[in-house]
Amino acid sequence: MTRPCVHPYSADWMLRTNWQHPIVVVAQMSAASSFPRYYQSRWQSGIHYMPSDTSPHLSTIVLRDKTMTTSTPQFDSVKYKQTTREQWQTAAEAWHRWGPTIEQWLGPVTEEMLNIAGVKAGSRVLDVAAGAGGQTLVAARRVRSNGYILATDISSDILEYAAQDALRAGLTHVETRVLDGENLDVEPGMFDAVISRLGLIYFPDQHKALTDMHRALKPGGKMAAIVYSTAENNKFFSIPVSIARRRAQLPPPLPGQPGPFSLGQPGVLEDAYKKAGFHDIQIRVVPTPLHMTSAVEYLRFARESFGALHQMLVGMSNETERQDVWKEIEQQLKQFEGAAGYEGPCELIIGVGVK
């Protein structure tokens, strides 16, 4: 996808997807006045959600005055993908418009990924979750006219920008195709390299995605991905997300839910590669700070391009409150301003494995 993104397991998402009948989900809170803001807004709807004091998950359902115990709600990957697609259909234009800034930020780590993956003249490359195609074009120039690039993404609108830019650049050996990264409908054993820049982290079934990528490679071909490391080392992104989640009073993500830092802990990406059948795995940690003129400029980039941040705030009915959230984010990000402008802390991991 070549973009940062988080897909919160929001209360609104729970409302739409998990329970389709008038119910009350209760926990250990005694009065409607003590409900978090989002839940108060749902009090008159006949569908009531109240979080447990002792658990981030919901524990009891009251249905038509009859109480029954239920298990922890499960992550809905189908709905997640629908939301992901919708977010990037909406954000496509802005993400493409900010392309020069993104390439200035991610360009060096992209070149390093392609070097390790052995992408060169004549290579056939599959780009999964290609987004607007910044890394697609870099790879296409490397493989030259006797090579081939297939760029795929779940969002047709953002992928169209990749197609248009390739055409304008005269890179006729680039093809684009709308595909789900977990269901890569490509001929097996046809590619020298598969790449994914900040895309693999957002797949609900990362193992399925990796095994599909493994299947697409020729024997000896290489899988190369760029992912974020930990939230602590990526405060340019984790700070806005944590503030939005707290101010909107959203529950934490469910276990197993994809997200920007899902492969960032030491050993996690390597283990995922091994389980998918890759060997000779290389892992490199690369500091990749995001440089902009100011925290205000970065926040403008985030507000225009990161659709999921807006989704996190959708349950806040008061526009003034939403604006206060953005102001708090801006104030927190100003700590990264200096004489040279804004330098947002970012640390990426390059992972490469061989089929």
Question: What is the count of structural domains for the chain?
Answer: 2
- pLDDT > 90: percent of the chain: 68
Residue 30 sits in the same domain as residue 158: no
Residue 178 maps to a domain: yes
Q: Residue 18, by phi and psi: left (phi above 0), alpha (psi -120 to 50) or beta?
A: alpha
Residue 285 sits in the same domain as residue 174: yes
φ, ψ for residue 304, nearest 5 deg: -80, -30
Give the domain CATH number at 211: 3.40.50.150
pTM: 0.80
Write the CA distances from 204 to 113, 248, 305, integer angstroms: 23, 24, 22
Taking a C-beta distance cutoff of 8 angstroms, is the pair 288, 346 a contact? yes
Residue 48 sits in the same domain as residue 146: no
Residue 34 sits in the same domain as residue 92: no
Residue 230 sits in the same domain as residue 262: yes
Query: Which two structure tokens, joined as six digits, stand for 144?
Result: 């030259």
Q: Which of 69, 100, 133 is a domain's end point?
A: 69
Q: Which of 38, 69, 100 is a domain's end point?
A: 69
Residue 227 sits in the same domain as residue 138: yes
| 3 state SS of 194 | strand
Residue 135 maps to a domain: yes
Between 1 and 223, where is the model more confident? Answer: 223
- pLDDT value for 350: 98
Name the strand (E) or helix (H) holding 238: helix 235-248
Taking a C-beta distance cutoff of 8 angstroms, is the pair 351, 227 a contact? yes
Between 45 and 173, where is the model more confident? Answer: 173
The tens digit of pLDDT for each residue in 238-274 reads 999 999 999 998 887 776 689 899 999 999 999 999 9
Residue 12 maps to a domain: no
**Which residues lie closer than 8 Å to 97 by C-beta, 6 or more apart?**
304
Write the CA distances from 339 to 55, 291, 343, integer angstroms: 44, 12, 10
> What does the pLDDT average to over 34-43?
38
Q: Which of 35, 69, 103 is a domain's end point?
A: 69
Q: Which domain holds residue 190?
A: 77-354
The tens digit of pLDDT for each residue in 105-138 reads 999 999 999 999 999 999 999 999 999 999 999 9
Residue 30 maps to a domain: yes
- pLDDT value for 76: 85
Residue 36 sits in the same domain as residue 103: no
The tens digit of pLDDT for each residue in 58-93 reads 333 333 333 444 455 677 888 889 988 998 999 999
- pLDDT value for 71: 53
Residue 239 sits in the same domain as residue 190: yes
Three-state SS letters, 248-265: HCCCCCCCCCCCCCCCCC
Residue 88 sits in the same domain as residue 208: yes
Residue 31 sits in the same domain as residue 63: yes
Is a pLDDT exceeding 60 seen at residue 25? no
Q: Band of the pLDDT at 35, cuts 50, 70, 90?
A: very low
Residue 116 maps to a domain: yes
Distance CA(88)–CA(111), nearest Å, equals 25
Residue 114 sits in the same domain as residue 181: yes
- pLDDT value for 8: 38
Taking a C-beta distance cutoff of 8 angstroms, is the pair 129, 153 a contact? yes
- pLDDT value for 12: 40
Residue 8 maps to a domain: no
